[in-house]
A and B are shown apart, each in its own frame.
Chain A
Amino acid sequence: MELINKSRVKSPWLLHYDGSSCNGCDIEVLACLTPIYDVERFGIINTGNPKHADILLITGGVNKKAARVVKNLYEQMPEPKVVVAVGVCACSGGVFHDCYNILGGIDRVIPVDVYVPGCAARPEAIIDGVVRALQVLAAKTDKEAVV
């Protein structure tokens, strides 16, 4: 058990979803994979599949169409899982917050664990957000263990 909990923190697999971002944050997320930032150092992998992922990383706010998708993806992820909102759009809707089609931040649809601000969020901030998310993940599993 101990071993599994430790491994959990060392092997966070991401699912990256673009709610309705301007693509600015997405570029920064992808920049994390490049040799300069190389998130694989932390065992982080961009899986592209909710059924393999531990962390749902969402850029951009949710619009009416994307709400269903976000919910579906979240539900298809196996427990334990955490959600990271990347960029101000994802946190609160950002500059688009009063657009006719925007519902607001991701937390309007699914529970968000870590908010990464910035427009666009810097790769360092994103990595930092993921690391925070890992702490949340660890806390979640500890709580589960108690229950």
Chain B
Amino acid sequence: MVKALMVVLLVVIMAPLLGGLLTGIDRVLTARMQGRVGPPVLQPFYDVLKLLGKEALAANRRQVAWALGYLVLIIASLALFCLGGDLLIIVFTMAFAAGSFVLGGFSVRSPYSHIGSQRELLQMLAYEPVLILLALGVYLQTGSFMVKDLFHQSQPLLASMPLVFIALLIVLTIKIRKSPFDLATSHHGHQELVKGITTEYSGPYLALIEVTHWYELVLLLGLAAMFWTHPLGAGILLALAAFFIEMVIDNICARLTWNWMIKFTWTGGIILCLINLGVIWVLRAGGV
């Protein structure tokens, strides 16, 4: 119990530092890829600190409550993940968090945040099946939905679920709001005409959302690291590599429409998962 609390505390403190730093590195590397110098690595922290000091503007209380819900629920899923909890529950809690974000956007009668929310919903529709299938794949491979049981595996998950990993990369593109799938909103490194789902947030409330994105980034990279648990260092490298791939994709792609996104994920992503799970299932049924 005490140990669990310590882990949670560590997560709450360390994850945003890590996530903010990664975001900063992302911005610098992106700038370099575009032949620019880019901001300081600590730029995301400056941004959030500044936002914290700004005047609070909001439409109503529920808008703020849902944004807070987004933060708290993402922290909860990350904590569950770090405690080695049930993957399906982690995915469902993440869905609640994303839903909370969507409802925050819906809480104001504003055309821009509404369109953002609708698109975020479509993004959820696009990635949710892949995430659940990922959990199912982990179960088929290891016989357990628990993250902590992955550490008893001799063979990295990547060896048996390479296609699911590719599908996860697609999910990552959507979840960390990278082109071609940054439909609902993008990060502040992107210069936008209008910000989509976060349009009606400002000041400290926007800071809340930014910090949530940091937590979320760590959680998502954690999911990627899960594919190689022995040694964990390899998993971390894998996650960082995945993050780098996302950056490259972001810089070479234009934004696409939501129709395309749904088609792409529901055919490409889900079929990748299916083939992979099918192979595992057949191998297992064959007693290999």
Contact = CB atoms under 8 A, between A and B. Distances in A.
A touches B (Cβ under 8 A): yes
Interface of A: 1, 3-8, 10-11, 13, 33, 35, 38, 40-43, 45-49, 51-52, 54, 76, 78-80, 141
A33 B36 CA distance: 10
Nearest to B200: A51
A100 B55 CA distance: 38
A48 B112 CA distance: 12
A7 B50 contact: yes
A54 B201 contact: no
A7 B203 contact: no
Contact of A79 (B40, B43, B55, B189): B55
A46 B193 CA distance: 9
A49 B194 CA distance: 6
The 3 closest A-B pairs by CB, nearest first: A4-B53, A7-B49, A78-B55
B125 interface: no
Contact of A46 (B34, B37, B191): B191
17 contacts: A4-B49, A4-B52, A7-B45, A11-B43, A11-B46, A33-B191, A43-B40, A43-B46, A48-B192, A48-B194, A51-B57, A51-B202, A51-B206, A52-B198, A78-B56, A78-B57, A79-B54
Contact of B31 (A4, A11, A38): A38
Interface string B192-223: 11110011111100100000000000000000
A4 B201 contact: no
Given A4-B49, A10-B43, A78-B55, A48 B193 contact: yes
Contact of A80 (B31, B38, B54, B199): B54
Contacts of B40: 10, 43
Interface in B25-75: 27, 31, 34-40, 43, 45-50, 52-57
- B interface residue count range (under 10 / 10 to 19 / 20 to 34 / 35 or more): 35 or more
A52 B207 CA distance: 10
B188 interface: yes
Given A7-B49, A11-B50, A52-B202, 16 more contacts: A4-B50, A7-B46, A7-B48, A7-B50, A8-B50, A35-B34, A40-B31, A40-B37, A41-B36, A41-B37, A43-B46, A43-B47, A48-B191, A49-B199, A51-B201, A80-B55
Interface of B: 27, 31, 34-40, 43, 45-50, 52-57, 188-189, 191-195, 198-203, 206
Contacts of A4: 49-50, 52-53
Contact of B206 (A7, A45, A52): A52
Which of A33, A35, A40, A80 has the most chain B CB atoms inside 10 A of its CB?
A40
B283 to A, nearest CB: 50
A7 B50 CA distance: 5
A33 B203 CA distance: 24
A47 B47 CA distance: 12
B206 to A, nearest CB: 6
A22 B47 CA distance: 33
B191 A78 contact: no
Contacts of B206: 51-52
A49 B35 CA distance: 26
Contacts of B27: 40
Contacts of B55: 78-80
A135 to B, nearest CB: 15
Contact of B202 (A42, A43, A78, A80): A78
Contact of B53 (A7, A51, A76): A7
Q: Chain A CB within 10 Å — which of B38, B47, B193, B206 has the most?
A: B47
A13 B35 CA distance: 21
Contacts of B31: 38, 40
A141 B27 CA distance: 28
Contacts of B56: 78
